[in-house]
Amino acid sequence: MTDLPALLDFVWSRLSHGVGDRTHPARHPTLATIGPDGPELRTLILRHVDRDAGVLELNTDMASPKVAQIGADPRVALHVWVPSDQLQIRMRATAVVRQGDPELFARLPPQVRANYGGAPPGAEPGPAPADEDPARFAAIRLTLHRIDALVLHEPRRRAVFAAPDWRGRRVAP
């Protein structure tokens, strides 16, 4: 896999594995936002990939600080490291938060739905478990505009792909 289109295919195939395979490292990307005191990082579950649209989706709690951060500045980054492929994927995107799919919410296990209730993430915990609030179930839609792929297998290679043509160019690793 030496040509640029093949490398981009490789990246998208690994992102797709993250959605479909609970054990794949791309299942748990790190999302970076710009917070009031500087960068903020956290792990999220990758829920949906649409290569044609250049879109990734994650779920979160509307009451979590990252939602306000995205509202204040929608520029985000996402990071994935796939050890078995020696592949690092760094993505830049514009994020939009919207109401999550209520049918999907209803299908989530009770212990997951329970996360969408009570004190907001990062706040002091409430005295007792609170009822889940489906209105807090949110989807974060990331529209990618840059993908930086680094493969550490020899020969090492790194390329940057950018919207709208995603043709890509090689850069030094």
- Interface ranges with ligand FMN (CB under 6 A): 28, 40, 42-45, 58-61, 64-66, 121-122
Radius of gyration of the chain (CA): 17
Q: Any idea what the Cα angle at residue 43 is, between residues 40 and 46, rounded to 5°?
A: 125
At residue 168, the 3 state secondary structure works out as coil
CB-nearer residue toward ligand FMN: 64 or 148 = 64
Closest CB 146 distance from ligand FMN, rounded Å? 22
Closest CB 71 distance from ligand FMN, rounded Å? 12
CA-CA distance, 20 to 46, in Å (whole number)?
9
> Cis peptide leading into 39, omega within 30 of 0?
no
CB-nearer residue toward ligand FMN: 22 or 169 = 22
Closest CB 88 distance from ligand FMN, rounded Å? 19
- Distance from CA of residue 167 to its chain's centroid? 22
Closest CB 69 distance from ligand FMN, rounded Å? 7
CA-CA distance, 68 to 76, in Å (whole number)?
13
Closest CB 54 distance from ligand FMN, rounded Å? 21
User: Largest Cα–Cα distance in the chain?
Assistant: 57
CB-nearer residue toward ligand FMN: 42 or 141 = 42
CB-nearer residue toward ligand FMN: 7 or 63 = 63
DSSP code per residue over 99-111: E--HHHHHHS-HH
